[in-house]
Amino acid sequence: MQTPTAKRARQSSFVKGVVAMFVLGLPGVVVVGVSLLGTLRSLPQFAGASTPALFLLIVTQPLLLLALACLVGTALAPRTRLNSHVLYRIVGRTQPPVLFGEELPAAVGVGVGVAVVAIALDGLFAVLVPGLSPLVVRPMSDPTVFSVLETVSNRFLYGGITEELFLRYGFMTLVVWGCWKLAGGKRPSSRVMWTAIGITALVFGLGHLLAMVAFSSVAPALLVQIVLVNAVIGVGLGWLYWGESLESAMVGHVSFGVVVLFVSLLLSL
């Protein structure tokens, strides 16, 4: 049985872990809020709304989801043997087996590799389905260098960090824990981990699909393209979270974004 002092120390470290992870993901929510202000202001129902009110409207839901993800991840990641260097530094539980620097080659390699596969799938869909534009490297019509560069903060702060906290640290950790409890055993098996990676990757793809459907109609071929391409990305990043750490998944996501940004800039010239 824990002493009152030990219990308070454990609760304090848990709160510190949640706050640290929340702060890590906060800039991504802010940049998304800023980037969507113009879109909401162009809608008739929000024409007279103030900028602070619109900003709060945009960021309230992501902030709540981020807080929930940080609570779930901080509570369950150490139990499921999913590692985070930041969490270890703050909380001191479940030390990652290797130093973060030793994980970087694999993280960058997976990120670049996934980008190449995603771009190749983009090209394949464009060839097989006439009129279907590339999704990964040209997500907007008639992109310019300036319009591509405008996406940098969203790609890296939201996509690379906040999205990983949502999907890997929060959702995938919860799925791993749930599947582990159903399957039993002293620790999550490889089958449990791959199941969680697959489910999370599918949700990752469906999430991008819902984001696109919210702004326009989606043809069946584009629907398959969106889910498949993003699911491939999700599998690679999920494997990094399991095999290395949350921060490796973030580096992989950022590396993916760097490749896509470079190719997008070339296509916009």
| Residue 209, pLDDT score | 75
Q: For residue 149, which phi and psi values (nearest 5 degrees)?
A: -65, -25
| Residue 59, pLDDT score | 96
| Residue 1, pLDDT score | 56
User: Among 4, 186, 168, 148, which residue's Cα sits nearest to residue 83?
Assistant: 168
pTM: 0.91
Residue 251 near residue 107, CB atoms below 8 Å: yes
| Residue 142, pLDDT score | 62
The runs of H, that is alpha helices, within the chain are 4-35, 37-41, 51-76, 85-91, 100-128, 145-149, 152-153, 163-164, 173-183, 190-213, 220-243, 246-268
| Residue 4, pLDDT score | 77
Instruction: Please state whether 27 falls in left (phi above 0), alpha (psi between -120 and 50) or beta.
Output: alpha
- CA dist., res. 59 & res. 15, Å (int): 22
Residues spanned by the domain of 134: 4-268
| Residue 13, pLDDT score | 87
Total domains, the chain: 1
| Residue 46, pLDDT score | 83
| Residue 143, pLDDT score | 67
User: Among 188, 196, 144, which residue's Cα sits nearest to residue 167?
Assistant: 196
Question: DSSP label at 45?
Answer: G
Which residues in the chain land under pLDDT 50? none
